[in-house]
Structure 1
Amino acid sequence: MYLTRFRINTVLRDARRLLSSPRTMHAAVMNAFPDVLPTDTETPRVLWRVDRNAKAEVFLYIVSPAKPDLTHMVEQAGWKEQPNWQTYDYGPFLERLATGERWAFRLTANPVHSIRRKDGEPTKVTAHVTPRHQAQWLLQRQESAGFRVLEKPEEQRLLPGGDEHELLVHDRRSQAFHKPGQDAKAKGKNRVSLVTATFDGRLEVVDAEALRRTLTQGLGRAKAYGCGLMTLAPAE
């Protein structure tokens, strides 16, 4: 597995077009892997995430089973006079993960749940829209994903409830677009509504093998649209 970071030149019009559409960004990312077939369920999938750290500091992260060739992205959204991306062998890092380690993490995800509005009706996938419910969505999945979000000391908790963990929910977005290749009559049925949230926090590894799966296979839904990719960094 490989981890790639690409810095996006937000001044360029094509870069802004990519950033405005998860569908367009997905196509650009997949163009970096000519040998990866979208229908291949045997090969680990390609995960990606956009980090908007500041207006002029935007990065695209990719985790993939093969090295990407992002030359086309340089032409659309990079700088031609300097290196635009770095790719690292992710395997050694993943293999070293051990139970009990503590890391800072970032995850952009599509926090949803299934509800039934009336008795007898089928369940419907519905997005969580408040920071508290979005945080709860992650906390409900942490153990099966191989980690535990650390809790704050009591003296650092600012609220009587909902502030127990070292977890920040931010960059919450709601977008809507149509799936590609649909005719005009089918557009209403193939409209994608996407709610995303970015989680920053600190975690402890409770199951190293499960966490490796989370880091390489993603967490939650809408992985094709920039959700599910968790990355780790040394915790201060």
Structure 2
Amino acid sequence: MFLTRFRLNTARPGARRLLSSPQAMHAAVMSSFPTLLPTDTPPTTGPRVLWRVDHTTRAEVMLYIVGPDRPDLTHLVEQAGWPAAAAADPDRPGWQTRPYAPFLARLEADSVWAFRLTANPVHSIRRTEGEPTKRTAHLTPRHQMDWLLKRQKDSGFRILEKPLDQRRLPDGDQYQLIVRDRRDLSFGKTEHTTGRKNRVTLTTATFDGRLQVTDPDALRRTLTSGLGKAKAYGCGLMTLAPAR
């Protein structure tokens, strides 16, 4: 497994096109892996290609990719990076890739990490008796937070709670967790097999917080297989950083 980071040059039309369409970004990410075809069906279990876009500031937008092989992002540098700078320094091609396995192997029970996750928090509802269930997005930060809390045990971690003297609200403020950057996305999708054009709509939210590892093996699966739905559209990738 490999973890890759790429900074998009938001002044370039190619970067703006990719950022406006998760379908286009998905195709660009998958094209980074020579052994994978765009029509390959993603695995239902086990490692897969995951990606996430972080809007750190208006001028700094980062693309993170986790995949089973080392990617080649030359085409992304040409479309949405700084190709002249990359050509001038062969040792710095415009992205950074590191082996992920050594980090995953170091995860230990009870260790504490800061985390970030962009996800598609949804639930299934049935409005009337006998009606088929329909997948519906959670729209409020409280419900989106509950969505993640319900998945923490099976995913191998526990979100830490705040000390009592840091809780400012009477309800829903006990966790070291914030929900931000909610986005309602709508974009076109072309089916590879039929060529038919569809419209995809989904809601995403980004979670920042601190967690404690409860099951290292389960957390490794979460980090390499993703969490939740819409993984092809930039959801499900959780990354960890040392907790301060």
Shorter-normalised TM range = over 0.9
Q: After TM superposition, give the deviation of residue 192 of structure 1 in Å.
A: 1.3
Q: Give the root-mean-square deviation of aligned CA atoms.
A: 1.8
CA contact (8 A) 2:46 2:224 kept: no
Q: After TM superposition, give the deviation of residue 10 of structure 1 in Å.
A: 0.6
**5+ unaligned residues in a row in structure 2: which ranges?**
87-91
1:111-168 CA distances to partner (integer Å, 9 max, x unpaired)?
Answer: 0000000000011000001111101100010010000000001110111001110001
Q: After TM superposition, give the deviation of residue 193 of structure 1 in Å.
A: 1.0
Query: Which residue matches 2:82?
Result: 79
Q: Which ranges of 4 or more aligned residues in structure 1 deviate by more than 6 Å?
A: none
TM-score, scaled relative to structure 1: 0.95
> Do structure 1's residue 61 and structure 2's residue 64 form an aligned pair?
yes
Query: Which residue matches 2:41?
Result: 39
C-alpha spacing 1:154/1:28, structure 2 compared with 1 (3 Å) = same
1:69-92 CA distances to partner (integer Å, 9 max, x unpaired)?
Answer: 000000010012143210000001
Q: After TM superposition, give the deviation of residue 43 of structure 1 in Å.
A: 6.9
1:98 aligned partner, one-letter code: E
Q: What SS does the aligned partner of 2:56 have? A: strand
Query: Which residue matches 2:54?
Result: 51
Query: d(CA) in 2 for partners of 1:179 and 1:221?
Result: 16
> Do structure 1's residue 230 and structure 2's residue 238 form an aligned pair?
yes
Matches within 5 A, 1:154-233: 154-181=164-191, 187=197, 190-233=198-241
Query: d(CA) in 2 for partners of 1:43 and 1:137?
Result: 22
1:180-216 CA distances to partner (integer Å, 9 max, x unpaired)?
Answer: 138xxx65xx321110000000000000000000000
Q: What SS does the aligned partner of 2:217 have? A: helix
Query: Which residue matches 1:121?
Result: 131
Give the share of equivalent positions with the same residue, in percent: 67
Indicate the larger mover: 28-37 or 202-211: 28-37
The number of residue pairs the alignment matches comes to 234
2:117 aligned partner, one-letter code: L
**5+ unaligned residues in a row in structure 1: which ranges?**
none
CA contact (8 A) 2:115 2:210 kept: yes
Q: What SS does the aligned partner of 2:150 have? A: helix
CA contact (8 A) 2:122 2:137 kept: yes
